[in-house]
Amino acid sequence: MTVLLVVLGAAVGAPLRYLLDRTVQARHDSAFPWGTFTVNLIGSYLLGALVGGAHATPGPVTALLGTGLCGALTTYSTFSYETLRLLTTRARGLAVLNVLASVAGGLGAAYAGLVTATAIWS
């Protein structure tokens, strides 16, 4: 049953990632991968919120939303590819910015989700 919940969450998360990525990137005339950056921050926030509310979240919900939805919504492989693409096109500054902003932003978003959920469930 848990595997099916993960599959269901991923079936929603993957197309959502694609649609959000394309929508955000279309609004920016920049080589910086704003779409991937945005979906990774959203997914980090959501996962942080799930962790923060873990005592109130049943295991199957965590499998559905944490592993399935957030796992398919966020994308380390695309982040890596886009960073390498920036490096090979000599946009080194944007590549470094992508790494630093993605790591700091992802951790910050996860922490904000954790704090938000903790405040709601406390």
- From 115, 113, 118, select the one nearest 49 (Cα to Cα): 113
Question: What are 24's two structure tokens?
Answer: 């955000």
Residues 6+ apart with CB under 8 A from 23: 35
DSSP conformational letter for 65 = I
- From 106, 111, 107, 113, select the one nearest 46 (Cα to Cα): 113
2 among annotated binding-site residues: no
71 among annotated binding-site residues: yes
Annotated binding site: 71, 74
Annotated binding site for Na(+): 71, 74
